Structure 1
């Protein structure tokens, strides 16, 4: 029997992007290129292909952000997620314990739907003015620590250069100089902003929102806005998005995990909602002390994240995509702008996917495709411009395209 063969074609534009107004403009249409790959099926049948609502066709995208760039994110959360030695107690310069329990973690993971485990990841809202190597017991991250977290897939969000909120703050300077600081020290441009909290004049957050959105930020986390639950089964309005932060923090009661259990009950109710969901939560420190009484003590953080991983991660029903806000934003942005055209003629079919101009400061350019077929299939591709992974030989339901 002749193998059923069809081709998926992706049209990628490499035109420039204008940051100031968050608008797009073409500079050279000749830079558009086409990449393609072939699929061979083991049987002849009608095949349907569409973009997955969420990466890896997950049910819930979960974005968790830690504010202010405290060192506990590196000392405790990072090894808890990736696996390794969690820091023992560590008293910082403010006499707060930013360490953990000193145990060895096996890691917390979800899968890519193809049997490969991916560590949980967080977003970091940081102030460039607070990052440094001194003192030795510093409370904030160092540049090398931020770089390591970024290289591991954590995202870095703009939180203002000095976390300034008081009367007289130059909000525009806080936004733009923090962008410059991170670019000079780490080599990339941040594209999302988190409004810093603290003593302030009424309405100060509105000025941060305005200046951030006018100067390169695609979205802003603030006090009032979208979420924390965002339905993504249809096109999502991401244009100049402002979303509301929902904080999780430990209570004064240190006996047991009753407070975390209440938060987990909320999480479970969100996870049970019909259709694909994007859910976001925030906290500050994740060390042993409840830093500024606005944080999660490490035992609470460990309990909370481990419970989520065991129920919804790779060791549970594997329905979660635990990814930072920027990663999920960029997936949905691209998903909502591609055009998929599929034509099938008997034993042959062709799928064309047209991609829009992708902003230069986008970090992620992946798209997952849901394949409706009972046939096993194989993919053929030798292009250096992208990689493809699929479950064609097992469940034959998923293809993920990784654009380079």
Structure 2
């Protein structure tokens, strides 16, 4: 008789245990994956009943060649010479840094180097900066590296910032994970954004160290990594591009010991011409280090060479030439192609009007760019109309009627 209450307690406990297991089982049951999408719609009004065909442009502004050029290590010459040359402004005169190297330029005024957006607007050439947060500091007249204010100004002008490790560490004993995540934190604290692309630093190292960097970067917020081997430097973009955990290689452009003429730069330009002449749309990728008057660490481009190289490209492929070039940093091109390969476009044409609906995927929060260009095939002139506050539209419907650019908010 005395054990009956204990049995009752046991039964109650068992019931509660089963109920608890059942409840936790329900809550922990995997839910069906949901993808947040958004819909953008607009109208195309044609001047005639001619049929229209719409597809995502292979590259932004429907260009033939995307060229991504990166300056590694965050040297001050990026701000003193290349930024004003490309963006327009006063190029620094000679500036001898803490290492007794001249990171200045020729002291001239530049009007800038440009390509167009295909609808009548000029856009200055933009580069990427692979920087080490541990080397960036407050402004000093003789600093060898950039200041935070200089990096911020270039970033605000459309240059992209790529993770290059906190201290550019490569030697035996390097904590690669800390280098990756520490630099991410440094840029977040000082500039207020999160980097999403990584560039493996070079230098004295153990064999295979780059593989450690690749692994830790891809596992900690980087969508792709520039390394010694991988995709490219010439990447075809006509078909869907596999961007998942992409590792890519780059062309190293540097000055030679010969300071007479531009024979070395002409060889690089000949290679560039061969890439530009490829029949399908291409993404091409290159880098250097310093771009001042001195060939810093003998791993850089002297400013005279850099100016000649970039001006030659601009005159031939920029807005002064055939305007086939999209001169944009790696991150901008990467994010365009990522979105291009994921959007869904539907359109219905009735006479002189076409209703266009675009389904956008959920875009990662660290993405900086949210834009797409549409290649239009119609002999008819047209204009676009949208009542959506979430998109800005520009087009060339009154002249070439081949392009619509969409900027999503």
Q: Structure 2-normalised TM-score?
A: 0.90
How far the C-alpha of 1:27 sits from its partner, in A, is: 11
Q: Specify the alignment match of 2:385 in structure 1.
A: 380
For 1:136 and 1:83, the matched residues in 2 are separated by 22
Q: Alpha carbons of 1:30 and 1:106: their partners in 2 closer, same or farther (altered >3 Å)?
A: closer
Which one has a larger percent helix, Structure 1 or Structure 2?
2
326-335 or 379-388: bigger deviation:
379-388
Alignment check: 8 A CA contact 2:115 2:327 kept:
yes
How far the C-alpha of 1:338 sits from its partner, in A, is: 1.1
Matched, 1:342 2:347: yes
Q: Alpha carbons of 1:263 and 1:81: their partners in 2 closer, same or farther (altered >3 Å)?
A: same
For 1:28 and 1:149, the matched residues in 2 are separated by 39
Q: Which deviations, in whole Å up to 9, do the C-alpha atoms of 1:345-381 show, x marking residues without a partner?
A: 4454333222211100100110000111111111122
Q: Specify the alignment match of 1:84 in structure 2.
A: 89
Alignment check: 8 A CA contact 1:154 1:324 kept:
yes
Alignment check: 8 A CA contact 2:41 2:358 kept:
no
**Match for residue 174 of structure 1 among 152, 174, 179:** 179
Matches within 5 A, 1:210-289: 210-289=215-294
Specify every segment of 5 or more residues in structure 1 that has no aligned partner in the other structure, as ranges: 1-24
Q: Which deviations, in whole Å up to 9, do the C-alpha atoms of 1:85-107 show, x marking residues without a partner?
A: 10000000000000000001111
How far the C-alpha of 1:84 sits from its partner, in A, is: 1.1
Q: Specify the alignment match of 1:360 in structure 2.
A: 365
For 1:386 and 1:70, the matched residues in 2 are separated by 37
Q: Specify the alignment match of 1:62 in structure 2.
A: 67
89-98 or 27-36: bigger deviation:
27-36
Specify every segment of 5 or more residues in structure 2 that has no aligned partner in the other structure, as ranges: 1-29
Alignment check: 8 A CA contact 1:79 1:107 kept:
yes
Where 1:223 maps in the other structure, the secondary structure is strand
Q: Alpha carbons of 1:346 and 1:265: their partners in 2 closer, same or farther (altered >3 Å)?
A: same
Q: Specify the alignment match of 1:4 in structure 2.
A: none
For 2:138 and 2:96, the matched residues in 1 are separated by 16
Alignment check: 8 A CA contact 2:71 2:129 kept:
yes
**Match for residue 307 of structure 1 among 309, 312, 324:** 312
Matches within 5 A, 1:74-113: 74-113=79-118
Q: Specify the alignment match of 2:119 in structure 1.
A: 114
How far the C-alpha of 1:115 sits from its partner, in A, is: 1.6
Where 1:282 maps in the other structure, the secondary structure is strand
Q: Which deviations, in whole Å up to 9, do the C-alpha atoms of 1:117-159 show, x marking residues without a partner?
A: 1000000000000001254310100000000000000000000
Alignment check: 8 A CA contact 1:338 1:353 kept:
yes
Structure 1 vs Structure 2 CA RMSD: 1.6
Q: Specify the alignment match of 1:144 in structure 2.
A: 149
